[in-house]
Copies of this chain bind each other. A is one copy, B any other.
C-alpha cells in the first residue's frame, strides 16, 4: 500500500519493539486492543501543524514516523523551538490531561505519520486502565524535567557559544561512536538552530565558522562531525 508523500503507511504504528519504553508500549493485551479502537492514523506532509499554541486540546498525537518540532512564539513573531520530537513521542499530553490550551505548536519537519487519540476517549481509557495512568504521570514528570533543563539552558548560560556547544553535545551524546569523534545528520537550518538556542541566524552562522576554525567540528555535506568533545564540554561550563 502506497501513501502520498512517498511514505508507507504502517498498519499499526503503536506496536513497539520489546526494548522500547514509550508511553503506550508493552501494555496488556486488553489495553492494547482498546487503544487500537480509539486511535486513528493519519499521514501528514512536511509543514503540517498537528496543533497550534493556544488551541483547545482536541487530543494527543503519537508520532509514528517523521520528526516534529515544538515551538512557542511571542506576538511580535519571535519563536523558540523547545523540543524536537521523534517517532514514539506523545505530543499534546499535558494540554489534554490538564484541559488547558496547547502550550506549544507542533509542526511536522518532514512527511510523517501519527496516531490521533481524542481527548475524551483517552481520559476514559486512562480511567479504565490505572496502569497506564501511572505511566502518564511519569511521562508528565519527564516532560517537566525537560522543561527545567530548558530553563537552565536559557537562564544560566550567558553566551550563544555556550548554548551552541551545549546543543552540539546533546546531539552527539545520542549518536556516540566507539572512536573519539561522533557524527550527526544535520537536518536543521541555521535559522532553526537559532530558534533553539535563542539567538539570531547570523550568530549561528558565525558560530559554525568559529567552531570549524577551532577544530571543534567539521561539516561533510549535511553530516556534522564533532571533533573535540572535551573542548566543547569546557565551553559549556566556562
A123 → chain B closest CB, angstroms: 11
Q: Is the CB of A144 within 8 A of B142?
A: no
Q: Which of A3-44 contact B (CB under 8 A)?
A: none
How far does the alpha carbon of A100 sit from the alpha carbon of B133 in the complex, in Å?
A: 19
Segment of A73-81, A113-121, A222-230 engaged in the interface with chain B: A73-81
Is A147 an interface position by the 8 A CB rule? yes
Once A148-B147, A156-B72, A237-B75 are accepted as A-B contacts, the answer to whether A141 and B80 lie under 8 Å apart by CB is: no
Q: Is the CB of B78 within 8 A of A145?
A: no
Residues of B within 8 A of A97 (CB): 137-138, 141
A145–B72 touching, CB < 8 Å: no
Interface presence of A221 (CB below 8 A) = no
| Complex CA–CA separation, A130 to B127 (angstroms) | 11
Instruction: Tell whether, in the assembled complex, residue A94 and residue B151 are in contact, meaning their CB atoms are under 8 Å apart.
Output: no
The smallest C-beta distance from A213 to any residue of chain B, in angstroms, reads 25
| Tally of contact residues, A, Cβ under 8 A | 38
A143 within 8 A of B: yes
A152 in the interface, Cβ–Cβ < 8 Å? Answer: yes
List A62-89 residues whose CB lies under 8 Å from chain B.
72-76, 78, 80, 82
A85 to chain B, nearest CB (A): 16
Main secondary structure of the interface of A (DSSP, over half): helix
Contact at A76–B237, with CB atoms within 8 Å?
yes
Is A154 an interface residue, CB under 8 A from the partner?
yes
What per-residue 1/0 map shows which CB atoms of A84-108 lie under 8 Å from chain B?
Answer: 0000000000100110100110000
Bound CA span A97–B139, Å: 11
Please measure, in the bound complex, the distance between the C-alpha atom of A207 and the C-alpha atom of B179, giving whole angstroms: 51
Cβ B151 vs Cβ A140 within 8 A: no
The listed residue with most B CB atoms (<10 A of its CB), out of A82, A136, A141, A154, is: A141
List the B residue with the shortest CB-CB distance to A130: B130
| B237–A141 CB distance below 8 A | no
Residues on B with C-beta less than 8 A from A110 are: none
Q: How far is the CB of A74 from chain B (nearest CB, A)?
A: 4
* Pairs A–B under 8 Å by Cβ, sample size 15: A72-B151, A72-B155, A73-B156, A74-B237, A80-B151, A80-B155, A98-B142, A100-B145, A103-B145, A103-B148, A136-B137, A137-B140, A140-B144, A150-B155, A154-B154
